[in-house]
Structure 1
Amino acid sequence: MSDLILHHYPTSPFSEKLRLILGHKKLPWKSVFIPAIMPKPDVLPLTGGYRRTPVLQVGADIYCDTALIADVLEHLAPEPTLYPEPEKGMSRILAQWADSTLFWAAMAWNLQPKGAAEVFVKAPPEAIKAFGEDRGKMSVGNMTRLRPADAAAAYKSYLRRISDMLDDKPFLLGEMPCIADFSAYHPLWYTRRIEAVKGILELTPAVGDWMDRIAAIGHGKSTQFSADEAIAVGKASMPGSLLTDSTFQDDHGIPLGTQVTIRAESFGLEETVGKLVAASRMHYTLERTDDRAGTLHVHFPRIGYVLKKADNA
C-alpha cells in the first residue's frame, strides 16, 4: 500500500479529528502542510476544485471529507474499530451531528469578537481581512451562521448533553472511543485553544476529563513531506480505491462514464469535474487528469454532496 499522506494545517479542527484517528489506529502518515485559505496551488491539482481541509492522499487516490476518510482508515486498520457493534448506526449519526450542528455552534462561539481577536492577535490586518473574505465565499449558499448569543445557548446545551452521555462510561458510547468521540472532540479542541472563550468548558467537568482522554491518544507517527513530493507520488501511481462498497447505485439517472460535477451541499461550494467511475451506496468517485499530478481518482462521500451532469456532458 502507498503511504498515507495527509494534507492539513495545524489549527484545522477537522484535521485534528483525523490526526487523532491516525494515532488511535497506530497508522504512520506523512504530513503536508497546506494554506488555511485560498489560493491552494498544490491542493487543487489533486482535488480538481475541492478546497476544504483536510484531504487524504493514497497514491493516485484522493479522499475528500473526514467522514469518508474515516471509512478508509477503518478499512486499513479495522481494530480498534471506529464503528462498534451494536452502536454502529448510532456512532455514525452522532458523528454527523457533531461534524455539523455541534461544529457550527462551537465555531460561532469560538470566533466571537473576543475569540477572534485572540486567534488573530499576531496577524496583520490584511491577513484578517483575507481570512474573513475566504470563509465568506465558502459560506455562500443555503448555510445559516449562528450569532454569538444564539451559539452560546446552543453550545452550553450541547456540552451538557455530551456530559450526560459520560455519566457511566469513559467515552460517548462505551469503554473505547469511536467515530462519535473524534467528531465531537475537534470543535471543543478549538475552544480549548482560545483563552478568551474556553471558560465555557468549565461548566461541564466531565467533558473536560473526556477531552483529556481523547487528547492523550496523540497523533501517532508522522513525517514531514512536501507538496511537490505528494504531487509526484500521485503522478507516479495508478488509482486503486481502498473503498470496499462498489455496487453501482443510480439515484440520478447518470450512467458511469458520464462527465459530472460534485460539490458540497452547503460549505465550500467549489466543484470538481471529472468522469464518474463509481457511485455506490456510500461514495462517489471521479476520474480526472491534471498536468502536474497525472490521472487521479477523487472520492467523495455520498451524504452531504451534490452530483450533477457537467454542462458539456
Structure 2
Amino acid sequence: MSQLILHHYPRSPFSEKVRTLLGFKGLRWTSVIIPAIMPKPDVIALTGGYRKTPLLQIGADIYCDTALIADVLERLAPTPTLYPAESAGLARIQAQWADSTLFWTAIAYSFQPAGLQSIFGNLPPEHLKAFMADRAAFRANAPRMRVPEAIGALRLYLEQLEAQLADDRPWLLGKATSLADFSVYHPLWYIRQAAGVAGILESYPHLTAWMERVQALGHGTSEKMESGEAVALAASSTPVSTEGEAFLDLHGLARGERVTVAATDYGVDPVEGALVLSRPNELAVRRVDARAGEVVVHFPRLGFQVQKVE
C-alpha cells in the first residue's frame, strides 16, 4: 500500500476521527504535525489555499475533508468496512449530521470558560488570543451558537444517542462498526479534552461505554515525518493519472478547465487549478506549486462548490 501521510495536530477533533479510522483499519501511517493556526506554509504549498485539518497525502495526491478521507481509506483497505451492507446509507447520513450539527454544538459547549481553561490553560495569553482570532477569521460569517443553546442542544443529542445504544448494541447502528461511530465519536472526544465541562457525559452510561470501545480501536501504527519532508516527497512524486475516468459534468465545464474549489460553510479559501476529476462524490484539481511541484488536490462533492475562472 502507498505511504499514508496524515497532516494533523493532537487536539484537532477531525484529526482524531481519522486517527481512529486508521486504528480501525489496522493501517500503518506517517504523522506530520502541522500548526493549529495560520500561517501554515507547508500545508498551503500542498493544497493551494485549503487550510482545514487534517489532510491525507499519498505521494502527490492530497485529500481534503474527512468524509473523502474515509472513502479513500475504504478503497485502499476495504476490510473491515466502514459501510456495512445493512446500514451503509444510514451511516453516511448520521456521519454528515455528526460532522456538522453535533460538531459545532460540541465546540460551542466546550468553549465556555471552564472548558477553555481545560483545553488552553497552559497556553500564554497571547497564544490563546491568537488562536481565538484565527478561529474567528476561519469561521467568517458562519452562525455562532451561544453557550445556553449549546448546553440545551447537546443534552438532547446525548439523550438521543444514549437511547440509540440502550438495546446494548455494541455500535451505533447495530452489531457492526460503521462510519457513524467515528463521526459521532470525535466531537464527544473533544468534550472530554475540555475536562472542566466534560462531566455532562457521565450521565449517559451506554454512550460512555461505547466511547471506550471506539477509543480501544487505537490509532494504528505511525512514524513521524517533518512537514518539509512531506512537501519534498510530493515534489518527487507523480499524481495518480485521472485519464480515462468518467467525467460527471454538472457545471458546464470540460475536463482541464481552470476552476476554483472552495468549502461552502467555513474555511472557504478557494483552491485554483485545472479540473481533472469529477465523480459523483469527488472533485479534484491539478495545480503546480514552486515547492510541492505538480499535485492533485481532491475534495468531496458535498460541502464544496466549483466556479470557473473567468
Settle same-fold status: TM greater than 0.5: yes
After TM superposition, give the deviation of residue 211 of structure 1 in Å.
0.2
5 Å matches for 1:84-103? Answer: 84-103=84-103
After TM superposition, give the deviation of residue 126 of structure 1 in Å.
1.2
CA distance in 2, matches of 1:254, 1:47: 22
Alignment partner of 1:78 is 2:74: no
Q: Is the 8 A contact 1:248 1:278 kept in 2?
A: yes
| Greater than 6 Å deviation, 4+ residue runs | none
5 Å matches for 1:88-237? Answer: 88-141=88-141, 143-168=142-167, 169-237=169-237
Q: Which amino acid is 2:303 matched to?
A: G
Partner SS state of residue 196, structure 1: helix
After TM superposition, give the deviation of residue 55 of structure 1 in Å.
0.1
Q: Which amino acid is 1:8 matched to?
A: H
After TM superposition, give the deviation of residue 246 of structure 1 in Å.
4.1
Task: Report the TM-score, using the length of structure 2 for normalisation.
Answer: 0.97
After TM superposition, give the deviation of residue 86 of structure 1 in Å.
2.0
Q: Deviations over 1:88-116 (max 9, x none)?
A: 11000000000000000011001112211
After TM superposition, give the deviation of residue 176 of structure 1 in Å.
2.5
Alignment partner of 1:259 is 2:222: no
Alignment partner of 1:43 is 2:65: no
Q: Is the 8 A contact 1:247 1:281 kept in 2?
A: no
After TM superposition, give the deviation of residue 129 of structure 1 in Å.
1.1
- Residue in 1 aligned with 2:239? 239
Q: Is the 8 A contact 1:15 1:53 kept in 2?
A: yes
- Residue in 2 aligned with 1:21? 21
CA distance in 1, matches of 2:201, 2:35: 29
Q: Is the 8 A contact 1:105 1:155 kept in 2?
A: yes
CA distance in 2, matches of 1:247, 1:94: 29
Gaps of 5+ in 2: none
Residues paired across the two proteins, number: 308
- Residue in 2 aligned with 1:284? 283
Alignment partner of 1:56 is 2:56: yes
Question: Identity of counterpart residues, as a percentage?
Answer: 52
- Residue in 1 aligned with 2:69? 69
Task: Report the TM-score, using the length of structure 1 for normalisation.
Answer: 0.96
CA distance in 2, matches of 1:220, 1:152: 34
CA distance in 1, matches of 2:245, 2:63: 15
Q: Is the 8 A contact 1:9 1:35 kept in 2?
A: yes
- Structural RMSD (CA): 1.3
CA distance in 1, matches of 2:78, 2:120: 40
Alignment partner of 1:271 is 2:270: yes
CA distance in 1, matches of 2:170, 2:120: 35
Partner SS state of residue 206, structure 2: helix
Partner SS state of residue 196, structure 2: coil
Q: Deviations over 1:117-176 (max 9, x none)?
A: 2222111121111111111111113x2121000000100111111111112201001223
Q: Is the 8 A contact 2:118 2:193 kept in 1?
A: no
